[in-house]
A and B are shown apart, each in its own frame.
Chain A
Amino acid sequence: MNSIPLPQVDPVAVPAPGWLLRVLLLVTFFLHILPMNWVLGGSILAVASRARGRRGSPHHAELARKIGKSLPVAVAAAVTLGVAPLLFVQTLWGRLFFPASVTMAWLWFAVIPILILAYYGTYRVAMAGEKAQGTGLVAALSALFFLTIAFFYVNNMSAMLRPDSVAARHMADPRGWALNVADPTFWPRFLHFVLGAVAVAGLGVAGLGVLRRKAEPEFAAFAMRHGALWFVAATMANIVAGFAWILLLPREVMLRFMGGSALATALLAVGAVLGLAALLVMTLAISAKQPERSVRLGFLVLIATLVVMVLERDQVRAGFLERMAFEPSPWVAPQWGVIGIFLVLLVAALATIGWMIWPRQDRGLP
């Protein structure tokens, strides 16, 4: 595959070993997808609940209000935690990421104004408070905008793995409007992430029920059951999407998951088992009299599943990189001193944030 126009490596040394960047990428990406899934899936669920609340279901109306109130903070967390993995992706694979971005330049740029609008939309809804009338359209538009951002992200992240088709699209039209939707893996991949977000948000709603079971027992019972239902429905559909994604991968990449790579195969197996376990636990939660324990267990299994899924996604990328014979820069000169300062400051930041958000006795004081 020598004809693939792969940019030359930079004549400035990479300031960290590849393994460190990759570990940080995976850790921060995992942290990013938690709030990101809540934003995307939660905003979709809230739109559905709002529609049913309007038809006279007070629990649905309350759920939509609660989700709406949480979204500004969730967007802030998703954006903040999303900056780091994008930085590490560019450090590791900028030579793939930059061309893919340029091919869809206007659309990639559009993520920024769309995000600003969606974000302001969440504030509009959250600040409307109890009388959330008139914000239905805003909430629906915000959800649609978040979905659009996901669409563009999946386009770019899947395109960067196909530098051959990126080059073909750029040569055909360099104005920056080309999407990667003709890639056979695109739609199952997009669907897999959107359904995943809905499932995670469903479990989040069930978790909200667990948290509110003392203060609002009726609403809590509703939220646990309703969230579990969303989780189960979305996950069942997602099993189909996930397998479609694997089967539509280029043969060399797919075979890694079928024994070609012990790690990829094991991850797929563990991920499937965990996903099915979560599905089973949450199915039980739908009909259980005391669903809290199922929801708690489901939550733990889901976290484990997400960890494995992040690693699987990394294996998909590894397969594509191997396929195109991607060679990382041979010139690595780690800036250990600066890396050390970063790690110390990271711990300090986590401690400071922890101190600030820790529930404290101050509450209720003027």
Chain B
Amino acid sequence: MNYPIWDLPASGLLIAGVAILHVFISHFAVGGGLFLVLTERRARRDGDAALLAYVRWHSRFFILLTLVLGAITGVGIWFTITLVHPAATSALINTFVWGWAIEWTFFATEIAAAMVYYYGWDRLSPRTHLAVGWIYFAAAWLSLVIINGILSFMLTPGEWLTTRGFWDGFFNPTYWPSLVARSFAAIGLAGIYALFTAVSLDDGPLKEKIARWAGLGWVVPMAIALPLSLVWYLAAAAGAGAPVAETLGAASARTTDVLGALFSRSVATGHPFAQTALRVALLGAAFTLVAVLFIALVRKRAYGRVLTGAILVAGFAVIGGGEWAREDLRKPYVIGSHMFVSGIRLPAARGTPRPPTGFEDRFAMDALNRSGVLPAALWAHLPADWTAEAGGPAEEEAGHELFRIECSACHTLDGYNAVRPLVSGQSSATLEGLLGRLAKPVNAAGEATSWDDPDLRLETWRGRRMPPFVGTAAEKRALAVYLARLGGGEIAPPPSGVADGAALFEANCAMCHGDSGEWPIARVIRGRDARWLYDALGRLPQLKDVMPPFEGTEEERRALADWLAAVKGGAR
């Protein structure tokens, strides 16, 4: 909106792809550094030439993987976020440029140390070589220490929302659990990679030694510790307002509830991608634990590429699933309570330092609701006079542009997170009604509040983690028209101003209770009379907790009840 939009549907997937690959290697780069230096120390102390030769050989694999693929994909994440999300990148840079600069000093030291370590096997004394190894590990871990602050900030910005202070954002509510979890992941991955490279050894006793050392010493403890640290992480995230229970479809963020929700068949709420991701991560950890124990205690010398490769894949699943779930927890924000994935900002929280006079944030949702998204969007193709003909092609085109701006970061038309099936058969009136109730601001106690509440929570329609529609009423209608055309639904005329039961049903109920909805209304209210229906409309959330309250006027409530009784209920 403030920046041009790259026409790449569900562009977030590109970030996910690059990021997961990078995280899988970069965590190994941290833990693997510790593994190299400890294993080298042990080999030198014990005078174990075979083990020393193995570490040396492993260091070559390590360098080739981490210095090239690891380091360059790290730069790649940065390249990708600037392309997919310039607005968020800009906000992060303005907040954390010095954090990145500090990380860069560690990165440079890390790269130099890795080179010196690798080329130094014959050139340096054992003492110096080990010292360089320690420098490598320290620098690599410290760069994680820094990046973790920025990454965890995006989910839980904490006090930064009102102070805009560097350290408030950096040491945010999920900083420590996230750092511990990532450090554990790094150590575990080091063992997994070591098993993988040990496969090609011919020396049986050495192979067994590495299986015990890497498997029992590195992987197994972490396969137990990592899930425990995730429990801490989820608790901290929930405490800071992240929708852990809602996203995972659990009754609360407690571990038993989360596990129950993840592994029971009856869960109908929550974010299916996040649930699957976390399930994959936990199953990956369980498989890793069992398979590594099997290698270390049973196979000992006879483990091969297939088994260690499967463990590597399982490790990838743990990392990938965990990162994916974290990303989904953050949705629909790109920076929690500051900016939505669409690049639209929330109004600054009460108490935030004010910008210099004369500065107005044109891309905050209150400003956009007032003056419109399309006029503010610098890079939009806007058909002239699109409001002139209701339901006309110009209005539909304006709706398409709004879709690009507000929806296309997450939704494709027919592919990933496809929107067409979601709107299939729905009328523009239904969709317009739905767009009006995607998300509401509530406080920690669940009571309605304003968007600039410093302790803001988001109550989303059926837990779907959608941002609110932002823009004028005409824009909302244009988007609804576009979506209705997309799904082959009817285009309803603009509201007449008279309380019309059919129109009210379309706008407020049809998404779920229409003929193509999940719960067609006729079945639910068969035989009910208008008086019962009028009464029920006043206590919808009590009837079923996923139902939103009816928010129309007294006259509208009566009109809707009458219409339902006459048309759908079959009784008066």
Contacts and interface: CB of A to CB of B under 8 A. Distances in A.
A171 B112 contact: no
A103 interface: yes
Contacts of A11: 345, 348, 355, 359, 361, 364
A236 interface: no
Interface of A is mostly: helix
Interface stretch (A76-84, A258-266, A312-320): A76-84
B379 interface: yes
A26 B348 CA distance: 34
A118 to B, nearest CB: 10
A88 to B, nearest CB: 8
B553 interface: no
Interface string A81-103: 10110011011001101110111
A337 B3 CA distance: 31
Contacts of A91: 93-94, 97
Interface stretch (A198-206, A211-219, A274-282, A355-363): A355-363
B418 interface: no
B139 to A, nearest CB: 8
Nearest to B362: A8
B539 interface: no
A354 to B, nearest CB: 9
B104 A330 contact: no
A176 B102 CA distance: 32
Contacts of B89: 90, 94, 98
B69 interface: yes
- Most-contacted residue by chain A among B68, B76, B135, B381 (CB, 10 A): B68
Contact of A7 (B82, B99, B378): B378
Interface in B472-488: none
Contacts of B102: 338, 341-342, 345
B79 interface: yes
A356 B132 contact: yes
Given A7-B3, A102-B3, A175-B7, A80 B111 contact: yes
A170 B97 contact: no
Contact of A171 (B69, B90, B139, B381): B381
Interface residues of A, number: 72
A277 B111 CA distance: 36
B164 A12 contact: yes
A137 interface: no
A214 B75 CA distance: 41
A342 B4 CA distance: 33
Contacts of B348: 11
Interface stretch (B117-125, B258-266, B284-292, B307-315): B117-125
A122 to B, nearest CB: 9
A206 B359 CA distance: 56
A250 interface: no
B164 A356 contact: no
B216 interface: no
A150 B4 CA distance: 24
A339 B98 contact: yes
A135 to B, nearest CB: 16
A115 B71 CA distance: 11
Nearest to A100: B4
A163 to B, nearest CB: 10
A108 B359 CA distance: 32
Contact of B72 (A10, A116, A339, A349): A116
Contacts of B443: none
B359 A103 contact: no
Interface in B112-150: 112-113, 115-116, 122-126, 128, 132, 135, 139
Interface of B: 2-8, 14, 18, 64, 67-69, 71-73, 75-76, 79-80, 82-83, 86, 89-91, 93-95, 97-102, 104-109, 111-113, 115-116, 122-126, 128, 132, 135, 139, 164, 166, 345, 348, 353, 355-356, 359, 361-364, 378-379, 381
18 contacts: A15-B97, A79-B72, A83-B104, A97-B82, A99-B379, A102-B4, A112-B73, A171-B379, A174-B4, A331-B356, A333-B353, A335-B98, A335-B166, A342-B105, A352-B112, A360-B124, A362-B123, A365-B126
Closest 9 CB pairs of A and B: A98-B86, A112-B76, A5-B378, A349-B105, A338-B98, A174-B7, A362-B125, A12-B94, A105-B6
